Amino acid sequence: MLLGVNIDHVATLRNARGGEEPEPLLAAQICEKCGASSITTHLREDRRHIKDEDVYAIRKTLKTNLNLEMAVTDEMQAIALKYKPRAVCLVPEKRQEVTTEGGLDVAGRLAGIAEFVAPLKNAGIEVSLFIDPARKQVEAAAKSGAQFVELHTGAYSLAYKTVNEASEFKKLKEAAKIAHDFGLEVNAGHGLNYKNVIRMHEISGLYELNIGHSIISRAVFVGLEQAVNEMIELVK
């Protein structure tokens, strides 16, 4: 199981007062040096954290993989086709949300999403769909042409150490099995931290975990290199 690091909140801190510090590119370079398998950036419509120039700098400079999270819009498709990251992850997006609140409704938008995925795949970009761990969403993802799904672990993360943990974890485990049965590769992420990430080892065949906020939060106290190394050890 690999670790992809989301550096969005380095950009959040930079944007809090403008200027250049802290630099998302430098954060990405540190994560790459520590052995992160990919760097994730979410280029939102409102550019609240990562900006276009950040994506360009990371794509141009790093040797490790760039995973570009993005909404299903013509603007974002054009940007992905321009920069050609290793992978894109299609996510739902609402201007008023603090962070991504749920999975993409692939089942309800299958025709449009399949049409959106095709040119990305034709350009050699791996496509992942960020979905809730529900059978209908996994089945729709398999029909969309995407090669990956990323299971939304937010409900499990919130339920960790509560009476709902077992049921939320079961959903993830079952969704991963269904996805594998359909020939999809499976990633997971959202809300994972240094305590609840350990159970991901109980899910067979997970390829990569994408974790950001928890790592950046810990980095405030111990430094980014140590924070990434500690999470890599837990993921291993």
What tens digit of pLDDT does each residue of 26-72 get?
999 999 999 999 999 999 999 999 999 999 999 999 999 999 999 99
Does residue 95 carry a pLDDT above 60? no
Does residue 96 carry a pLDDT above 80? no
Does residue 170 carry a pLDDT above 80? yes
- CATH architecture designation of domain 2-235: Alpha-Beta Barrel (3.20)
What backbone phi and psi angles, to 5 degrees, belong to 20? -115, -10
Instruction: Quote the pLDDT of residue 219.
Output: 98
What tens digit of pLDDT does each residue of 214-228 get?
999 999 999 999 999
pTM greater than 0.85 (yes/no): yes
- Where in the sequence numbering do the catalytic residues fall? 42, 69, 190
Segments making up each domain of the chain, as ranges: 2-235
pLDDT band of residue 102 (cuts 50, 70, 90) is: confident
Average pLDDT, the chain: 95
Instruction: Quote the pLDDT of residue 94.
Output: 61
β-strand partners of 87: 67, 126
Instruction: Quote the pLDDT of residue 99.
Output: 53
| Radius of gyration of the chain from its Cα atoms, rounded to whole angstroms | 17
Short-list 78, 105, 83, CA closest to 94: 105
Coil vs helix vs strand at 25: helix
